[in-house]
A = this chain, B = another copy of it.
Amino acid sequence: MKTIVVRNIKRTDAELVKRLGALGVATVHEAYGRYGLMKPYLRPVWQGGEAAGTAVTVLAHPGDNWMIHVAVEQCQPGDVLVVGCSADNTDGMFGDLLATSLMARGVRGLVIDAGVRDAKSLREMGFPVWSKAISAKGTVKSTLGAVNVPVVCGGVNVEPGDVVIADEDGVVVIPKADAAEVVAKGEKRLADEAGKREKLAAGILGLDMYNMREPLKKAGLVYVDELPED
């Protein structure tokens, strides 16, 4: 492991990020073949927050937020800060002072595989955060990590500049190289869904709309009137 800060990263095109953000996590994740979703233990600190941006990444040791301070300087408007740790941790490695700094730089949110504190302030400031825990447990600043190297966060490998989309359904990461394709597939999905919702609301069954009856029968599903006696 090299304890480095990488200054120049290639960010995904802002227009693609915006369109992925408009699609939302569930649609983007489906459009990407159901990969790239962080584990569901990463939850929004406050309800209603949403974020779409390009990843600036931090690799930290648990209970040590020194590298987050270092990372702030590398952030640009439109970024999302992504923090991975070298071991499981729930300490509050991030609070309202760091959030103030990130907001001043136009950062759109934080995804952290650890805890955060000042939950109430974060909500009042409107800075969206996805974390593993809320904990007042403070941290030291004693061990180096790295900034803008690939990091694993919530079970997903994130490269600097990748797209990060986060909402109430979780956090999904799309590699730069795949962003355009996922936008296209996702927008098509969304368009299809609108029509489906109307039909379903009108009482048309998914069984019929998706033509499932035949494959279900072929797979062996049997309809009976009563539960058979043992």
Q: Does A30 contact B (CB under 8 A)?
A: yes
Tell me if A197 and B97 are in contact (CB < 8 A). yes
Is residue A62 contacting chain B, with contact meaning CB distance below 8 A? yes
The distance in angstroms between the C-alpha atoms of A20 and B103, with both chains bound, is 29
Q: Fill in one digit per residue for A23-38: 1 if any B CB lies within 8 Å of its CB, else 0.
A: 0011001101111110
Smallest CB separation, A79 vs chain B (Å): 15
Residue A155 interfacial (CB < 8 Å): yes
Does A188 have its Cβ within 8 Å of any Cβ on chain B?
A: no
Contacts of A191 in B (CB 8 A): none
Q: Of the candidates B69, B86, B175, B210, which one forms a contact with A212 in the assembled complex, judged by CB atoms under 8 Å apart?
A: B69
How long is the Cα–Cα vector from A98 to B54 in the complex, in angstroms? 32
- What is the oligomeric copy number? 6
> Which B residues are in CB contact (< 8 Å) with A120?
48, 167-169
Q: Give the interface of A toward B (CB within 8 A).
A: 1-9, 25-26, 29-30, 32-37, 39-40, 43, 48, 59, 61-63, 66, 69-70, 72-73, 86-92, 95-98, 100-101, 103-105, 115, 117-120, 133-138, 140-144, 148-150, 152, 155-157, 160, 167-170, 172, 175-178, 193, 196-197, 200-203, 205-207, 210, 212, 216, 219-228, 230
In the complex, 21 of the A-B residue pairs with CB atoms within 8 angstroms, ordered by the A residue number, are A1-B32, A1-B35, A6-B227, A7-B223, A39-B87, A40-B134, A43-B134, A48-B120, A62-B62, A63-B63, A70-B216, A89-B89, A104-B201, A117-B169, A118-B169, A119-B169, A134-B169, A136-B172, A144-B219, A148-B227, A157-B157
